[in-house]
Structure 1
């Protein structure tokens, strides 16, 4: 629970090293390299190549599964046009087994996998979100409630890996933002998430030994007890002390920096600087715990636009929660070289593809990170992100 996590924060500065960490072999997803068509996504048992071969993706959340066939095909075509090779998609336990442990509704996710394969795109499946029958009794009505029983979640993950390995899915992210109460409703717990991660990792690898596993994406936040936030740096430090790095091949991180550009550096450090430039950076933690070559996947980053209120149109704007389409495009352009400048970064995913419906938005800001508006009209950021990816590929060959 949160109390034990905050104890870790107090102790972290005194920790020098701990032997161990990392899976038995460090794997690299075989995605065919820059600009190449992928073979299967089977991970190779080899050391991570620190020579940069940056992967690009779009993070869709739980949207592709609900699209019509025409919408889904359009989404795949847009991904190809952008030059991204990876699609981060929620594989929600709540969607697959909504009513009972004996029920499996795979059809919607099957469609997504088939559509991606048809376009030679790779899937990063995010395993998350609990059905009511399986949640912690204190919060079971919400999908972000952690499971009451880790073994049940791990069994779901095993079935998913067994089903989709033969269809080319071998890359998995285990939960989303477990360091904030919004996505771990009982309050962030290093010990409890480590238990879930360990059980799930073992279950997946029991049916797909070469699976490539990512830590659940860490929200870039400060530790704020009143909000039940635990900082990404404190949470990773605690996970490393618990041995969680032994269960994964890469860590996942969500460094939203808006209205600042990702490449901006400040005296106090930004979310992007926290990757490898601050004294207690994520990479420095990996190094202290014996994993200097473990990649950092940026499985979400971006900036929201919104027509209501005052939107930031410059990087020095204060007191705004969203940006203008012009500034979003500037951030999209800057994201690629900023990520490429960090040798530890293995992948960068823009969140998201298309805005949600303004009428159904329960969290206004979260609905407007798209590269396109709800009606499909592209924002300037669509072209900007695509051009930045193309420029990177041209110089990386």
Structure 2
């Protein structure tokens, strides 16, 4: 929940060295590259990484669109939190609407530049999620705001290419294309596997024209059941539909959002939690779909998971689940954080796990909005127990798995 500038040939050697350093730290990052326009582009090279089973699990924090609009203090604290947690990645929106809000010729890269520079100064890798359509680029028939797909996918692809052109020299080689395209709130007026595949096809081609070795993720799939009344298509049904059209072979990894609350991600249930549906729940799982369509070793990046606290309803505590439960206690959120690391580390198909989010965006007055309370910190900056729990779990993983 987005800016541009080609480089001269004389900088290639130094920039390639920067890319090697930035990408060699994490398993699962391979490569890829953008544009599609007729102008020449610099080619950026990054090393191939081993498959996820052969390397270190990557950890990150997912911030949505918050960092771009934080003041200097909150931006610094948010990124310092990532360092303190022991993660090496941050995921944030590269919103097309933020960068080109008004016209196809005007760009506002400054906010994203600021975050990129601050993150790279701390040694953090960035996973930008390229998404969200400005009003001038939407179909005239779509009235749902930035979640409308672009009227012309090529226009979106060209924007993605310019972003890759701009940020490859800063060491950004990994990109996610759209967010939760399988649910109505993020693809209006309803999910459309064919339309998303068309967008993915032209965008991956454009990106790899700029950086042939960029590492590309399919847009993060929401873990939901198919429900026509809400405009939801399940993660497996959507993945099967786009893979039938070849989308799984256009990317290096798929992205997935397995929120499991009010259950633990390590729970073994008869109905199948979102974590179980990665690979262990009967045949209705993501890996089974990837195997069916010819990419059995394609890794899964968990680019969002977590649990909300302090929401509008009763809170599950890990022992009981009230009938109107909408969130979890802070103590149970901490248990979920620990179990998320365990579940991801024990699944050989998972290459990365990002926690959403760093800080609550709501206060007590916003209790009706569960989405505002996924943070490891309260809105006032004080840490919830989940912060220390996630920090400890990541440290234990690094100690026991990698010395």
Q: Same fold (TM over 0.5)?
A: yes
* Residues 192/315 of structure 1: CA separation in 2 closer, same or farther (3 Å cut): farther
Q: Deviations over 1:38-91 (max 9, x none)?
A: xxx964236525224100000000000011122211112111110011000000
Q: State which of 25, 31, 34 in structure 1 corresponds to 2:25.
A: 31
Instruction: Name the structure 2 match of 1:98.
Output: 101
Deviation (angstroms), 1:396: 1.1
C-alpha distance in structure 1 between counterparts of 2:201 and 2:24, whole Å = 24
Matched, 1:130 2:128: no
Tell me if structure 1 keeps the 8 A contact 2:302–2:353.
yes
Q: 1:262 aligns with which of 261, 265, 269?
A: 265
Change beyond 3 A, Cα 1:42–1:270 = farther
Structure 1, unmatched stretches of 5+, are: 1-27, 35-40
Q: 287, 290, 303: which is aligned to 1:286?
A: 290
Give yes or no for contact 2:259–2:305 (8 Å, CA) kept in 1: yes
**Can you list the C-alpha shifts for 1:94-150, whole angstroms capped at 9, x where unaligned?**
000000000010000001110111000000000011111111222245111111110
Residue aligned with 1:259, SS: coil
- Report the counterpart of residue 161 of structure 1 in structure 2: 164
1:396 and 2:390 correspond? no
Any conservation in 2 of the 1:88–1:299 contact (CA below 8 Å)?
yes
Residue of structure 1 equivalent to 2:187:
184
- CA offsets per residue over residues 245-283 of structure 1, 9 Å max, x none? 121000000000001000001122111100001212101
CA distance 1:206–1:147, shift in 2 (3 Å):
same
What SS does the aligned partner of 2:328 have? coil
**2: distance between equivalents of 1:131 and 1:363?**
28
Aligned with residue 324 of structure 1, among 321, 325, 329: 329
1:76 matched to which residue of 2?
A: 79
Give the secondary-structure state (helix, strand or coil) at the position aligned to 2:239: helix
Please tell me whether residue 273 in structure 1 is matched to residue 276 in structure 2: yes
Q: 2:199 aligns with which of 179, 188, 196?
A: 196
Q: 1:206 to 1:382 in 2, by over 3 A?
A: same
SS in 2 for 1:186: coil
Answer yes or no: is the 8 Å Cα contact 1:30–1:42 preserved in 2.
Answer: no
* Contact 1:304–1:368 under 8 Å retained in 2: yes
Identify which range, 91-100 or 279-288, moves more after superposition: 279-288
Question: Residue 380 of structure 1 corresponds to which residue in structure 2?
Answer: 385
Compute the displacement of 1:321 (Å).
1.1
Which SS does the other structure have where 1:215 is aligned? strand
Distance 1:42 1:31 in 2: 16
Mapping of 1:20-59 within 5 angstroms? 29-31=23-25, 43-45=46-48, 48-59=51-62
What's the offset of the Cα at 1:309? 3.3
What is the CA-CA distance between 1:360 and the residue it aligns to? 8.1
**Alignment equivalent of 1:89, drawn from 92, 102, 117:** 92
CA shift in 2, pair 1:49/1:222, >3 Å: closer
Aligned position for 2:343: 338
Matched, 1:115 2:118: yes
Partner of 2:9: none
Alignment equivalent of 2:305, drawn from 279, 285, 301: 301
Q: In the TM superposition, what whole-angstrom CA distance separates every residue of 1:170-199 from its partner, at most 9, and x where no partner exists?
A: 110000000000100120000000001111
Q: Give the direction of change, closer, same or farther, for the CA distance of 1:251–1:72 in structure 2 (3 Å limit).
A: same
The answer to whether the 8 A contact 1:136-1:146 is kept is: yes
Residue 313 (structure 1) aligned with residue 307 (structure 2)? no
Change (3 A) 1:204 1:362: farther
Residue in structure 1 matched with residue 369 of structure 2 by the alignment: 364
Does the 8 A contact of 2:46 with 2:214 survive in 1? yes
Q: Distance in 1 between matches of 2:334 and 2:238?
A: 31
Name whichever of 307-316 and 283-292 sits farther off: 307-316
Q: CA RMSD in A?
A: 1.9
Gaps of 5+ in 2: 1-21, 29-43
Instruction: Report how far residue 359 of structure 1 moved.
Output: 7.3
Do 2:312 and 2:367's aligned partners in 1 also have CA atoms closer than 8 Å?
no
- Mark the CA change 1:307 to 1:236 in structure 2 (over 3 Å): closer, same or farther: closer
Aligned length: 364
Question: 1:212-264 deviations in whole A, cap 9, x for unaligned?
Answer: 00000000000001111000000001111000012100000000000100000
Q: Give, in whole Å, the separation in 2 of the partners of 1:360 and 1:291.
A: 47
